[in-house]
Amino acid sequence: IEPWHHTLALPMPQGHLPVRSYLAVPVVSGSDNVLGGLFFGHSKPNVFSQTAEKIVTGIAPQVAIAIAIANARLYESAQNEIEQRKYIAENLQRLASIVESSQDAIYSINMEGIIISWNNGAEKMYEYSASEMVDQSFSRLLIPESRQEASLQLALQKKKKGAITQE
């Protein structure tokens, strides 16, 4: 692919910088894939000489190498990210299995006191299924005398942390 330089006779769109001559050189990988181009413009006509073309043509392979190195680093970073995400997903799955298989009642509530998770142990202890309890207020589990105290405790927790509370 050859470099291209030309003098523009057409007017540029309104608001565009005035370009009367330009030089375009493709940036090509070692496997002959066009990665992009180096584009130079000038407001005066006939600015780019054969020497300028040779210089830019000599720079283009270096740009291709820099792009290849950057791409290799990005690829390596993406592979590391994928491995980290797999590791985290495996650990989350392992923890979820522990919680789900526990004989103890384990449930989570958000800062509004709404149940957001409910394990098998909770189903057995409280005799409510997860589908019955998730998205319900935790106060449903309390005897009427305890509801006000629990609401106050939740309000205090909400002020302190702003995080999910585990029971």
The predicted structure's pLDDT at residue 59? 95
pLDDT value of residue 8 = 55
H, E, C per residue of 89-114: HHHHHHHHHHHHHCCCCCEEECCCCE
What pLDDT score does 147 carry? 62
Q: Which residue has the higher pLDDT, 166 or 15?
A: 15
pLDDT above 70 for 163:
no
Q: Please identify which residue in the block is written with the tokens 């927790």.
A: 157
Highest-pLDDT range among 16-25, 70-79, 144-153: 70-79
The predicted pLDDT at position 134 comes to 96
Higher pLDDT, residue 159 or 135:
135
Residue 137, token pair as written in the block: 């207020």
- Entry pTM: 0.52
Average pLDDT (8-20) is 71
What pLDDT is attached to residue 166? 52
Task: Output 81 or 5, whichever has higher pLDDT.
Answer: 81
| pLDDT tens-place string over residues 83-142 | 999 999 999 999 999 998 999 999 999 988 899 999 999 999 999 999 999 999 988 887
Per DSSP (E only), the strands in 19-114 are: 21-28, 34-42, 107-109
Handedness of CA 30, 34, 35, 36 (dihedral sign): positive
Give the pLDDT confidence of 38-97 residue by residue, as tens digits.
Answer: 999 888 888 899 999 999 999 999 999 999 999 999 999 999 999 999 999 999 999 999
Site of tokens 């309000």? 155
pLDDT for position 158: 73
